[in-house]
Structure 1
Amino acid sequence: MHKKIKILSAVLVFWIALFIAWEWWYSFPKVRVIPVSEVNSKSLGIDSILHQAMSTYLLPGISVAIVKNDEVFYLNAFGYKNLLTKDSLTVESAIVVASVSKLFTALGLANTLNTKGISTHDPVSSLELKGKVSASSLAKLRFQDLLTHQSGVRDKNFSEMIFSSSKSQVLKEWGAEFLQNSSTYHTDSISYNYADSNYDLLGYLISQSENHDFHALIENSVLASSGMTNSKFVTAWPIEDNGITGYQKTFLWKRIEPKRISFPILPSPSSGLITTTKDMSIAITHLLRGQTGAFGKALGWLTIDGSKVPLGFQKTQIEGREWVGHYGGQAGYSSLLFYSKEAETGIFLFSNSRDKEDFRIEIARQIISYISPK
């Protein structure tokens, strides 16, 4: 027995040593950036904040867009989109914004249903889709229920994900399967339960209603019409020549290692938008313009009962003001987009690093405090 314990202990030590060696070999030291030697403008001051953040949070790359008083106030990027190739991250690099995608799915839904005379209070059955949609419990759900994650719809749990196929499903196939098993993934609960499936289902429904591919539908009704010509919901991943790699902190060392994203659904209405920091500055400009911007009609459709927060948008407090927008975080990618009509300011922030320390909002707070001191 004593000999067996020794053998098992030796095997365990060997595997631990192997793990440590593997993690060290495939990880990267923190990115070192040249600090700003002298701050004599607001732009250089923001540069300094971002340089410090990269060092503090071990960020491989970071990009920021700020719109203030209807003008692009700041637009810059630092670090790398891929540490292996040392390709620089720029404001025109293709980036993964994860759940910030939901804002654009919501805007696309609004444009589509508004032209049909359908409101947020109407049920899914108002789309008059035949087959399993009308026969399922989902038919009674209101669009606002899905937009606000109060639909009783849930995502697959951990055990279900383990036994499901690792390959990405086409949205049309996912939707058909979801409807077939709607009793499994839907309850009568009206409590808040954040689930990507709410938005994936909305994307599936409008694509079926319009008999049009979801990615093309959103591109035509939201992205191209607003000038976001370098943004799209991807239908294949990884995309050719993309080069963007996500990272996370290693388990033991003060280093970072690759953490790439995989999309279970393509295109993914909940998280599949690939865009650029420059395009997101355009989006913020339209959001701040409200009714006079390219998203005006859609925002009007999404804003109900006198609320200041459109359906599908989250809210947060920054420097004593309420800001609306959305957080994005998946695998080794983190982002946020928030704007304040009161402050006439909007900010977009992206990093190809997993955020376990709330660095997104902390950096945003530092920047907003710096450019708009009380």
Structure 2
Amino acid sequence: MKFNSKHFFLPRSTKNGLRSLSLVLLFALWLPFYASAQHKPDLKALEQYIENARQEWEIPGMAVAIVKNDTVIFAKGFGVTDILKKNPVNENTLFAIASNSKAFTSASLAILVDEKKITWDDKVTKHLPYFKLQDECATKEMTIRDLLSHKSGLKTFSGDLLWFGSNISREEIVKRARFIKPSYGFRTKYGYQNIMFIAAGEVIPAVSGKTWDEFVKERFLQPLGMNRTNTSILAQATDKNVAQPHVRWNGKMQPVPYLNYDNSGSAAAINSSVNDMTRWIRLHLNKGTLEGKKYFGEDVHRDMWTPQTLNPMSKGAEKLWPSKHFQAYGLGWDLFDYHGRKVVNHSGGLEGMISQVVMVPEEKLGFVVLTNTDNSLPYALMYEITDRFLGEDGRDWSKVLLEFKKAGQKRDAEAKEKLEKERPKNAKPAHKLKEYAGTYRSELYGDVVVKAEGKKLTFQMVPSPLYKGELNIWEKDEFVLSWSHPTFLPGGRVTFVADDKGNIVEMKMDVPNPDFDFTELELKKVN
């Protein structure tokens, strides 16, 4: 017989009993989630965990702050600002937040969307007529949304030597993007792009008449009370409470000077403290409004937190974090799911500075981690702190990632040792050293000057005054590159290329590292 709901009935007492039973079952099912959401971790234990992890990772100094239910429940510094001066880090110590600057750029553009001065889908050339890429379609069709979501067709970090410690202006950086070779089709694949974010930042003065720095300061930093935050290291030159970057050089941790990253602007130039960053976190967890003041609307806030570009997870990541099912990029924010919650986050990294900002909107939870050397502890703490607030019995994420780091260091050391054993004995160059000397020019980057000095070559990357060093013979036309100063960059190789007449015509640089691609410089000898 076909079921007919009209003929289905129960006595009132049975209905009431089932209703009561349903409520009991619903409450029983809901209770674990409620208990998880209301879980209160032991903050003293967390503080000790962070300090122990800091020491294990050999991080000179760091700071952490946590927001829960619109209240700052934890803000503390650990270690020192400088291993030589040994001033303690506190919640007001300034650190470079690097790529966590990107969210300030997308939020600034969100204000302009709210004010109907732009739309996310405006063509970039409407506001920056000089914007041009090698891919004509990308040049013509690139939108502000595309700039903010890493789908330009350029590979991750491509072109970043343009701004790294260089004296090239923001506008000129954007103009030189036409020399970067695309690696993918436009809008076909995720490629993390700082150059495109610098372009996005240049839209702001084109539309508002204010520089990116002025706009961020006037529309966010001042009204939010982020009084210690700045957009240039020049603003903190006399500040005594600033974390110094540190790098490991010849096996020893050393403080290094700040590089001036002002030209990276909208991609990476902000310096802040964890105390100030709690204001930024609270603003986003409250969807653009804080303490009665509206900064941007809920619609554009939703746009920033909506996946725009998929970022596929590796098999290793799926195995390590089985409760994660997707990764994507919004507008200035990384997005993924974790234990059934949406996680909004972003990392930041410059020489000797690593940061992480994390928000779990459903839990009204947000936190920030700032550190002053190259390390993965902020990323580990993203999972560790989230697990503790969700009541999840997770792994010790600091130890897990530290083991990965140590294993990688061991592999690198073994490979370096093997390579050194293979180094030719009594090698001699194929040409006289003075024949290698000269100026080598890259359309993308500019000049690298090579000089013959005694039995060695020296080089100077002209747009980046700090980046210079020595070239010592490996064999024939191949030389070993070493830097003249402590840096997080490893050594590398330089190969000179001769034409069919035996004249040196090109210089190829290779410095293997995950951040800057020296091979794309294409340096041709000009004298």
**Match in the other structure for 1:303:** 302
Residue 263 of structure 1 and its aligned partner are, at CA, apart by 3.8
Q: Do residues 69 (structure 1) and 69 (structure 2) align?
A: yes
1:281 aligns with 2:281: no
Aligned to 1:225: 223
Match of 1:343 in 2: 363
In structure 1, what is the Cα distance between the partners aligned to 2:86 and 2:219?
Answer: 36
DSSP-derived class of the 2:335 partner: strand
- 1:307 deviates by 3.0
Amino acid at match of 1:236: L
Please list the CA deviations of residues 268-314 of structure 1 after superposition, one character each: whole Å capped at 9, or x if unmatched.
11110011110011111111111544576256325349937742210
Structure 1 segment 1-374 matched on structure 2, within 5 A: 42-127=42-127, 132-133=130-131, 138=139, 140-153=141-154, 157=159, 167-169=166-168, 173-176=169-172, 178-179=174-175, 181-185=176-180, 187=182, 189-190=186-187, 191-234=189-232, 236=234, 239-241=237-239, 243-252=242-251, 255-266=252-263, 268-293=265-290, 297=296, 300-301=299-300, 303-304=302-303, 307=306, 310-355=330-375, 358-374=376-392
CA gap of 1:327–1:135, structure 2 versus 1, over 3 A, is closer
Alignment check: 8 A CA contact 1:49 1:366 kept: no
CA distance in 2, matches of 1:165, 1:91: 28
Distance 1:281 1:229 in 2: 12
Q: What letter is aligned with 1:174?
A: R
Contact 2:304-2:333 within 8 A present in 1 as well: no
Give the Cα–Cα distance (whole angstroms) in 1 for the partners of residues 133 and 246 of structure 2.
44
Aligned-pair distance for 1:142? 0.7
Pair 1:60–1:283, CA change in 2 (3 A): same
Aligned twin of 1:14: none
Aligned letter for 1:92? N
Q: Give 1 or 2 for the bigger CA radius of gyration.
A: 2
Once the 2 structures are TM-superposed, how far is the Cα of residue 204 of structure 1 from its aligned partner?
1.5
| CA deviation after TM superposition for structure 1 residue 318, in Å | 4.7
Matched residue type, 1:141: M
Q: CA deviation at 1:175?
A: 0.9
Q: Does the Cα contact within 8 Å between 2:149 and 2:330 map onto a contact in 1?
A: no
Q: Distance in 2 between matches of 1:165 and 1:322?
A: 33
After superposition, the Cα gap between the structure-2 partners of 1:215 and 1:143, relative to the gap in structure 1 and judged at 3 Å, is: same
Give per-residue Cα distances to partners, 1:302-351, cap 9 Å, x unaligned. 53499377422102455553310211112111110010111110110111
Distance in structure 2 (CA, Å) of the matches to 1:303 and 1:370: 27
Q: Deviation string for 1:149-192 (max 9, x for gaps)?
A: 1123565558x66xx996433xxx3314532x343137563221
Q: Which amino acid aligns with 1:53?
A: A
2:232–2:261 Cα contact (<8 Å) kept = no
In 2, Cα distance between the equivalents of 1:182 and 1:327?
24
User: Is the Cα contact below 8 Å between 1:234 and 1:266 reproduced in 2?
Assistant: no
TM-score (norm 2): 0.55
Q: CA deviation at 1:353?
A: 1.5
Bigger helix share: 1
What is the count of residue pairs matched by the alignment?
321
Q: Percent identity?
A: 19
After TM superposition, give the deviation of residue 362 of structure 1 in Å: 1.6
Amino acid at match of 2:199: L
Q: Is the 8 A contact 2:111 2:295 kept in 1?
A: no
- Structure 2 letter corresponding to 1:151: S
Assess if the C-alpha contact under 8 Å between 1:235 and 1:267 holds in 2.
Answer: no
Computed over aligned residues only, the root mean square deviation of the Cα atoms, in angstroms, reads: 3.1
Give the equivalent residue in structure 2 for 1:29: none
After superposition, the Cα gap between the structure-2 partners of 1:264 and 1:333, relative to the gap in structure 1 and judged at 3 Å, is closer
Amino acid at match of 1:248: V
Q: Judging changes above 3 Å, is the alpha-carbon distance between structure 1 residues 305 and 182 closer, same or farther for their aligned structure 2 residues?
A: closer
**CA deviation digits over 1:233-277, x for unaligned, max 9?**
11638733354211234554xx52235542454361111001111
Measured in 1, the distance between the counterparts of 2:148 and 2:213 equals 19
Note if contact 1:107-1:299 (Cα within 8 Å) is conserved in structure 2.
no
Greater relative contact order (Cα < 8 A, sep 6+) = 1
